[in-house]
Amino acid sequence: MINYKLLTPGPLTTTDSVKRVMMEDHCTWDDDYKQITQKIRKELLEIAHASEANYTTVLMQGSGSFGVESVLTSVVGADQKLLIIANGAYGERMMSIADHAGLCYVPYRVEYDQIPSAEKVEELLAADNEITHVVMVHSETTSGILNDIAAVAAVAKAAGCTMIVDAMSSFGGVDIPVEELGIDFLVSSANKCIQGVPGFSFIICNRKKLEESEGKARSLSLDLFDQWKTMEKDGKWRFTSPTHTVLAFAQALEEFKEEGGVAARSKRYYENNRLLIRKMKAMGIRTYISEKNQGPIITTFLYPEHHNFSFVEMYEYIKERGYAIYPGKVTDADTFRIGNIGEIYEEDILKLADIFREFFDRMKTKTAVIFDWAGTAVDYGCFAPVKAFAQVFQNAGIEPTMEEIREPMGMLKWDHIKTMLNIPRIHALWVKQYGAEPVDADVDRLYQEFEPTLFGILDQYTQPNPYVLETVQELRERGIVIGSTTGYTDDMMKIVVEGAKAAGYAPDCWFSPDAVGSKGRPYPYMIYKNMEQLGVSSVDELVKVGDTISDIKEGKSAGVFTIGVLEGSSLIGLSKEEYEDLSDEEREQILGEAKAKYEEAGADAVIKDIRGLLEYV
Ligand SMILES: *Cc1c(COP(=O)(O)O)cnc(C)c1O
């Protein structure tokens, strides 16, 4: 089940009630059905502000382009000439239609971000009196620009030409007084601003001009006059009609009226469109079309200027969060488009803006990475403390499981021991062994034993993990500085830092809980110490990477982008040999479980090995 809303200008998001009426199979010949067609035709005329005396509506099977093709190939005679005005792909498509049908035409092309000039049209018509028809797009969905049909219609009329308008994506969303403007043929379709589903187009026709077109059509199926002749009789379609689409459209028209007609719909579209543009502008995203010419239907936005930007990634990110956007279609700039027609309301725009904000935040330039130490940068599987904890608890007569030892990993070691003693099973064993609850003095005692044990083995666990050296090198080449935090104390760190340095790993700085009054993880203070030392001005510039749940919590409480690493982690807790001995299936299973734990703790991303980090900086 797909559960996202369409921010594409047709097909668009329809209401459930519109979708529901399509559950019925309707026959096409009875009066019921024919009356539905007639009612649709009549109501479309009303929306167009066109009188029944002078205008009529023809419904035509097929998508919007079929409607445009029907008009152009049916009303322009073999001895007539058409002026095609184009400032986008739909204008170009009309030329393509004309080429296919062998129509005689003159092109007037304008840059995609400019509106055609009525003065220029006037000049062209004056210079070539063979031109009999003028055609243009109202809302060029390619860019979102809204062309001035009133001005062009006025000069076309003055020159005695037939005026044709592709108002596909504007009719119903922008008020068009068809008769007053002198538009002779206006084409739109079911799946645009009336908010129906795809399947047919409709043409508001000047009766007189339509009648004059008899016999001119180059195509049988798209013969506008013939289609009208049949439909005008009693509402029967010439060939099979798209019944389900027609029922949906009739319902959509009801809802259109309920909302308050063109006025209300236009208001909603305009307000949502302008709100979106304001929100995007606040995030530094500019529109391709200037404010003055920007229509209310769809907006073309320029890509953000960031080397990390990927439309596909953004599209997927937004789709996963409930909205489908549209790639750009203009040829001279890198753009994407967002339509705001259909069942889209202010709350959708606000939600969408939040999604964009999150996405762009992720993309923000990072200047520093904070690594954890054991299990992340060195000590594959984080074994040094594990061995020492196991030893200390065994000496106290308690055999902890690997899980019990691993669970609090990443914490300051004293806190770690205390946390282990509070695990119910260990707690119970302790009470049985000593006849009393464990108290802080016991934690002190165990810790006093833990320290020398760990010190005794620590220098064997300072080797950098796979890919750490090359990843750090790459980060530095990108100008990124390296900080670090740990659950070890300063004394322990002296050994680890020295060993790692000898092996080639040396971050620009490190801080242990000793530097922050023993307020280690999940407190964020060690990260802030790093920021201070490294001169990082905002948490937005940081990435924290670690291999334990307390690492993730530290990163999230600091407000930084936080990544969990899987291979070599304490969370997985396997040595390199154990990990490599796993079957593919076992490995997938273990990685999947660890990933879920990171995500549950709030990780912004989970990477397989440390190289994955490079994707996020
Ligand atoms: C949607 C649209 C069309 C028709 O396109 P189809 O894919 O055939 O439905 C034509 N012109 C404009 C301006 C449009 O927005």
Supply the CATH number for residue 343's domain.
3.90.1150.10
Residue-wise pLDDT for 489-520, tens only, equals: 999 999 999 999 999 999 999 999 999 999 99
CA dihedral 447, 449, 455, 460 (to 10 degrees): -100
Total number of domains constituting the chain: 4
Looking at the CA of residue 68, tell me the nearest atom of ligand 1: 10
In the three-class reduction of DSSP (H, G, I as helix; E, B as strand; rest coil), residue 369 is classed as: strand
Strands 542-546, 326-327: pairing kind? unpaired
Judgement on whether residues 234 and 270 belong to the same structural domain of the protein: no
Cα–Cα dist 452/458, whole Å: 10
**Between the CA of residue 500 and those of 359, 461, 489, 564, what are the distances in Å?**
36, 9, 16, 21
Query: What pLDDT, on the 0 to 100 scale, is given for residue 324?
Result: 96
Judgement on whether residues 296 and 393 belong to the same structural domain of the protein: no
Q: Show the tokens assigned to 469.
A: 């050296």
Backbone angles phi, psi at 301, to 5 degrees: -110, 145
Judgement on whether residues 252 and 281 belong to the same structural domain of the protein: no
CB 288 near ligand 1, within 6 Å: no
CB 69 near ligand 1, within 6 Å: no
Judgement on whether residues 231 and 97 belong to the same structural domain of the protein: yes
Cα–Cα dist 185/171, whole Å: 13
Query: What pLDDT, on the 0 to 100 scale, is given for residue 487?
Result: 94
Judgement on whether residues 129 and 60 belong to the same structural domain of the protein: yes
Q: Where are the beta strands (DSSP E) in 66-215?
A: 81-86, 105-109, 131-137, 139-140, 145-146, 162-166, 185-189, 200-206
CB 168 near ligand 1, within 6 Å: yes
Query: What pLDDT, on the 0 to 100 scale, is given for residue 1?
Result: 60
Instruction: Give the H/E segment covering residue 377.
Output: none
Is 374 annotated as contributing to ligand binding? yes
Residue closest via CA to ligand 1's atom 6 equals 64
Residue ranges in the chain whose pLDDT is less than 50: none
Q: Taking CA 247 as the corner, what is the angle to CA 244 and CA 248, rounded to the nearest 5 degrees?
A: 85
CB 65 near ligand 1, within 6 Å: yes
Residue closest via CA to ligand 1's atom 9 equals 64
Query: What pLDDT, on the 0 to 100 scale, is given for residue 307?
Result: 60
119 Cβ contact list (under 8 Å, min separation 6): 155
Q: Distance from the CA of 221 to the center of ligand 1, in angstroms?
A: 19
CB 184 near ligand 1, within 6 Å: no
Judgement on whether residues 94 and 237 belong to the same structural domain of the protein: yes
Judgement on whether residues 166 and 273 belong to the same structural domain of the protein: no
Judgement on whether residues 235 and 252 belong to the same structural domain of the protein: yes
- Domain for residue 151, yes or no? yes
Judgement on whether residues 231 and 280 belong to the same structural domain of the protein: no
Q: Distance from the CA of 248 to the center of ligand 1, in angstroms?
A: 19
Is the pTM higher than 0.75? no
Residue closest via CA to ligand 1's atom 4 equals 64
Cα–Cα dist 209/202, whole Å: 16
- Domain for residue 23, yes or no? no
**Between the CA of residue 232 and those of 35, 212, 235, 596, what are the distances in Å?**
11, 16, 6, 63
Is 547 annotated as contributing to ligand binding? yes
Judgement on whether residues 537 and 391 belong to the same structural domain of the protein: no
Judgement on whether residues 596 and 497 belong to the same structural domain of the protein: yes
* Cis geometry, peptide bond prior to residue 522 (ω within 30 degrees of 0): yes
CB 339 near ligand 1, within 6 Å: no
- Our mutation pick for probing the ligand 1 site, out of 166, 191, 193, 269, counting the most ligand atoms within 8 A of Cβ, is 166
CB 64 near ligand 1, within 6 Å: yes
- Residue linked to tokens 């203009």: 330
Number of CB atoms found within 10 A of residue 372's CB = 27
Catalytic residue IDs:
372, 413
Contact 380, 465 (CB under 8 A): yes
In the three-class reduction of DSSP (H, G, I as helix; E, B as strand; rest coil), residue 82 is classed as: strand
Looking at the CA of residue 169, tell me the nearest atom of ligand 1: 15
The CATH number of whichever domain residue 440 belongs to comes to 1.10.150.240
Residues of the domain holding 134 = 48-257
Kindly report the length of the chain.
617
Q: Distance from the CA of 289 to the center of ligand 1, in angstroms?
A: 19
152 Cβ contact list (under 8 Å, min separation 6): 85, 116, 118, 121, 134, 136, 163
Looking at the CA of residue 140, tell me the nearest atom of ligand 1: 13
Q: Which of 232, 257, 282 is the last residue of a domain?
A: 257
Picking from 244, 246, 266, 261, the residue whose alpha carbon sits closest to that of residue 341 is 266
**Between the CA of residue 385 and those of 81, 340, 474, what are the distances in Å?**
86, 56, 30
Contact 74, 225 (CB under 8 A): yes
Half-sphere exposure of 375 (CA within 13 A, CB side): 31
- Domain for residue 3, yes or no? no
Q: Where are the beta strands (DSSP E) in 489-604?
A: 542-546, 561-565
- Domain for residue 418, yes or no? yes
